[in-house]
Amino acid sequence: MAFARRGRLFLCVIFLLVAGVFSTSAQDVPINGTLVQGSPVVGTLENGDEVLRYVYNVLDLRSVTIQALSETVHPTLRIVQGDTEIAAENNALFQSVTSLTTILPAGSYIVEVSAANDVGGTLIVLVDNETPINADVLALGSAFNREVSASSPTSLFTIGALSEEAYLYIDAAAGSNPSARLTDTTASQINALLDGGALGLRVRLPAGDASYLLEVAFRAAASSDIQPFSVCLTPVSVNSCEGTGEPVVVSPLDPNAPVTTVEPGGDACTVTPNVAGGANIRQSATVNSIIAGALPGGAVAAVIGVSPDGAWFNIQFNNITGWVAASVVNVSGGCANVPTVNPPAPLFPTNTPTATPLPTSTPTPTQSGPCLISVFAPTNVYQIPNADISNLQDQVSAGGELIPTGRLADNSWWRTNYAGAWIQTSTFGVTVNVTGNCANLPIVSP
């Protein structure tokens, strides 16, 4: 009997040791570094099956954009937390630049980078943008009265896991008309949009672990400079914002206002760039108008209108309202009822005045209109005027446009409005065309 007990004890010890080894090896995932905004990291995939992993810590609720770029690898991006995939960009178009934009709550994440084209090579990974999100917590049975204005254009609310089905109500006063967008941050998808003539919105949310972000934004086209609104979250079983415990009860501010009801997975009209390099957002529906911002590759923008000729979409993205060409985006959702909007009069970019002429070696552009670089084939731009891959900032896809802001004294590089990126003049006439009056570009230093 004593021998049998000792034998069983020995087997238990062996089992624990083996289990410990397997447990340790399962957690021993190689980490290649840490991602911090403003500090690009350089990694190397030895083969097409390898995966690079970087720790990425988020201090609070943030909208983040992560990019990976390479001259040989067509990178994919995946953000995971534990065994859960938070967001991913699979680079189905096999672009050399991949961008992933998502909203991340506070926590520690792993960013995985691999090759869509199954080849190895050197690549750069960077946190391109981090925007902290200050949001009120909209709990079940709670309500808020808020306002947005030109000086305070956005009000944000977070909704956590719901123990039961709930209705989210948003109401605005006549003439107020702020816009609103509800995003499922767990699935990284837009669930509902409020814009145009509607003064109210009701969304039915399922019970479960999903989290949401509600963005209410000032709409410049509305008649009011201050746009008050009310929001509340109430159980479906109650179907009322009465009795929320708030000093001010949320109710429709205009009983005659139309209310739009959207169930989960609402068929809102949205656009996404059809190239990884993203798309320009312009002030008006013409390539000659100024660039108001950018819609990154993989990002989703709400469509609020379409130009009379159908060639441009009026969109809202990150508090920017502008126009994107229909040719550079993919459309999804219910877009049949998007209203036709007359674009505003275009504002044209102006050149920086200086008397410095360009050397005679510069390709002679059309000497009228604003100076513009139009990309007709993929073209690399760099953080500094040096074409080493470590200085690569992005690859601008065909259809992209850049506005020159200066040049080197020897005219070998031009600086652009794209985050100060530099483009080689050797690409002129090869992958890009230069048009307009560029004779007065100032000489600048890197």
CATH number at residue 75: 2.60.120.380
Is 10 a member of any domain?
no
In a shared domain, residues 146 and 227 = yes
How far apart (Å, rounded) are the C-alpha atoms in residues 201 and 187? 21
Select from 262, 289, 318 the last residue of a domain: 262
Is 22 a member of any domain?
no
pTM, full prediction: 0.38
Is 341 a member of any domain?
no
Select from 212, 231, 262 the last residue of a domain: 262
Is 62 a member of any domain?
yes
Residue 372 sits in which domain range?
Answer: 349-446
Say if residues 231 and 168 touch (Cβ distance below 8 Å). yes
| Local confidence band at 2 (pLDDT 50, 70, 90 cut-offs) | very low
In a shared domain, residues 320 and 399 = no
Q: Are strands 312-317 and 320-325 parallel, antiparallel or unpaired?
A: antiparallel
| Local confidence band at 359 (pLDDT 50, 70, 90 cut-offs) | very low
Is 171 a member of any domain?
yes
pLDDT higher than threshold 50 for residue 94: yes
In a shared domain, residues 122 and 144 = no
pLDDT higher than threshold 90 for residue 60: no
Q: Give the model confidence (pLDDT) of 281-340 as tens digits.
A: 887 888 777 666 677 777 888 888 888 888 889 888 765 778 888 888 888 888 888 888
In a shared domain, residues 41 and 91 = yes
In a shared domain, residues 140 and 252 = yes
How far apart (Å, rounded) are the C-alpha atoms in residues 415 and 407? 6
Better-predicted residue by pLDDT, 35 or 93: 35
Is 294 a member of any domain?
yes
How far apart (Å, rounded) are the C-alpha atoms in residues 55 and 110? 5
In a shared domain, residues 165 and 255 = yes
Domains identified in the chain, total number: 4
How far apart (Å, rounded) are the C-alpha atoms in residues 21 and 215? 48
Candidate ranges 121-130, 176-185, 193-202, 271-280; pick with highest mean pLDDT: 121-130
Say if residues 104 and 79 touch (Cβ distance below 8 Å). yes
Question: Minimum mean pLDDT among 109-123, 224-238, 346-360, 396-410: which range?
Answer: 346-360
Is 3 a member of any domain?
no
| Local confidence band at 222 (pLDDT 50, 70, 90 cut-offs) | low
Is 14 a member of any domain?
no
Say if residues 116 and 91 touch (Cβ distance below 8 Å). yes
Select from 241, 262, 283 the last residue of a domain: 262
Give me the pLDDT at residue 341, please. Answer: 82
In a shared domain, residues 414 and 315 = no
Give me the pLDDT at residue 223, please. Answer: 59
pLDDT higher than threshold 80 for residue 160: yes
List, edge to edge, every strand of the sheet that includes 97-104.
41-45, 121-132, 62-70, 97-104
